[in-house]
Structure formats: structure tokens, C-alpha cells
Amino acid sequence: MAEARRIAAAAQGPARRTVVVGGSAGAPAALMKLLAALDPDLDAGVVIVVHLGADSPDMLPTILDTASSLPVVLAGERHPVVSGLVHVAPSGYHLLVDRDRNFALSVDDKVCCSRPSIDVLFNSAAEAYSAALAGVLLTGASGDGAEGLRRIRELGGLALVQDPAEAEVETMPRAALALAGADLCAPVSVLAARINGFGRR
């Protein structure tokens, strides 16, 4: 069943719009709630970075796939960003989106003590998608993602931030709000509804 969902999603082709999502402490639970609320026919790719240890097994796609309305896969080198598919950054690598909207993996130095870094993903995706990009920052214990979210807004994209009052750890959303502001700061359920509107055909 999961494989059939992946094949159906891949048939939608390269994403014309994309949603990048970052989080850290508490993010898996928030992501499960977010992904469960997304439209199954979302006309956008979804790309996720979560801070995990470099030696952590890449189990996050399997965990998220149990709750997600969209199929979840591990992002790979030169794989395209595909509409209707959730792509998760592998542990130990920065995940970037090139101008041709394919993924690139990097083992460059850590950013905000993390690899993968949310800022690295957000900045590269902003350059690739401009106004056709939505950035989402969830619960977390660092300021990673704030600079990337600011870049997304500078290039015309949409900035969504989890309400710090709902976040398990409020550091990350508060850092984003302080540096970048947001087009919407709200609980995860409300963010999901806004993403559905962004990715509606």
C-alpha cells in the first residue's frame, strides 16, 4: 500500500510549489499532527529537516509515514522535489535544493551545531522557488531556521511559525518570530490548513 502511494505521488511530477519544514526538540510529534492534516492530493512537495544525531538511523520517514496523508521518503542526492511527496533529510547531511529543483547532499560544517541544518535547506529552497515556497518552523531548542525563514520572506515566499505557546520547546519559533516575523503564527492544525490552501490546485 505504501509503495502504491509513492508511485501515485511520483506520477504527479516535479513540484511547482514546495513547503519546507524545520524543527528540533518535540518536532516528530508536531510533524505527525501536521502531516496527518494535509490534503492527500496536495499539489506541492514537502521537505523536512529535523535535528537528529549524525549517527541516528534514518527511521523518521517510517515513523512519519504511519500518520501522514502523503507518502514519506528519505531525500537522496539528485532526487527531484516531487509534488504530493514528503521528503525527509537524511541524518548527518545538509539537504539543499538546487536551482534545477533537485536535491543535493553536503557534509559541510555544521550550522547552529546541526547537520542537517534548517537554515541551509530554507536558504537554498528560497533561491530555487522564490514566491512558490512556504517555510514552516516548529518546536525546537535552537535558533536554526530563523535566518532561512527571513530569506524566504525576502524572496516573496510564505512564512509559517508554530505558536510558541503550543510548542514543546518554544526557542525555535520565538527566534524565528524575532528575526523574520511570520505571515501566520498559529497552532499546527491552523498551519496545516494554510498549507492546504497554498498547495491547492
Q: Could you write out the DSSP letters of every residue in 85-108?
A: -EEEPPTTSEEEE-TTSBEEEE-P
State the residue for C-alpha cell 526557542.
171
Q: At 130, phi and psi to the nearest 5?
A: 50, -120
Task: Tell me how far the alpha carbon of residue 107 is from its chain's centroid.
Answer: 19
Whole-number Å distance between alpha carbons of 176 and 174: 5
Strands (E), the chain: 18-23, 45-50, 72-74, 86-88, 94-97, 103-106, 133-137, 158-162, 184-186
Catalytic residue numbers, as ranges: 24, 51, 144
**CB atoms < 10 A from the CB of 154, how many?**
11
Q: Are 43 and 12 in contact (CB under 8 A)?
A: yes
